[in-house]
Structure 1
Amino acid sequence: MTPEPPISDPQRREHPDPHEGTTPVPKALLMAVALLVAFCIAYIAASDIETPAAWGDGRHAADLGGVSATIAGTVDGAAVFASRCAACHQAQGQGLPGVFPPLAGSEWVKGKDSTTAAIVLHGVTGPLSVMGQTYNGAMPAFGELLSDAEIAAVLTHVRTHWGNQAAAVTAETVALARAAHRGRTAPFGSQDLPPLE
């Protein structure tokens, strides 16, 4: 058995290594954390989901939905397109071949503004010919999700980008299309779409 090395004077002056012992966290701190968690649970459980929006941070539903507005107060059609349409029609309006029709160069986009407004308001289902190719899908209705100004802005964006050169769409045009098809509860089919011209 080898003898233990002698302990030097500097080693004798050192304090022993600290240990946590049986209570590593103070009980008062544990109680404070437990009370905070209990308060948070009670607060969330007692919250009213119908709290008036005026009590919040002042943002509107359009702000939360990704729709930005300019200082002048007009709706940003590009932002509406990015949040509502680009997933299917793609960022540059080229669509997905055989699945979602293109908007770039589409006769439906460049056609009568009230027809394009009616399509966005109520959607389309079933076979539809776009630029000589038939698409058999469904476009959702946005009449309940977007205001007349938002629909006008997104249609104006689509009708003036990617080589499209059609006239801007006004909120009044969308309002007239909404009124003209007020009783409609189902999407348009290829047979009952309003005329392009």
Structure 2
Amino acid sequence: MKKPIITGLTAAMIAIGAIWISPAWTSEDVRPNLPYTDVARVAEGAALYVDYCASCHGANLEGQQPNWQDRDADGYLPAPPHDETGHTWHHDNALLMRIVRDGTEAIVGGTYKSNMIGFGDVLRDDEIASILGYIKSTWPTEIQDIHNEINARVLP
């Protein structure tokens, strides 16, 4: 008799917790949109990219080093290009937002080494989304479509 009561109380507590927490879990938090078709946001993202990203990833998203997939002597990967030749478009929006906000080492964890710092202390989420929207706006339509498919497959 005690087991059904405990099970029922546990289920009720989980349901109440989910209702209490759920307002903070919007679909935008889980699956953020990148404003790559919004001209004003793309322009904002381009300006922010110049200020915060271009010194490592290249003024034209081309990356700064030809061997960006090979670790250097200290174990760090060079900053990858963000054009279609890089791997940025292989990642869903939520992961891209987290990488820019928190830094790669914080996302991967363990002993992974990366020079990609987090910008969460200096950029708001909407600014990060604008930067990523700018980057996405430069990709060929085929790559944008593939990236959209990647995002559609990610479960909230």
Q: TM-score, normalized by length of structure 2?
A: 0.48
Q: Which is richer in helix?
A: 2
Larger Rg: 1
Q: TM-score, normalized by length of structure 1?
A: 0.39
Q: Which is richer in strand?
A: 1
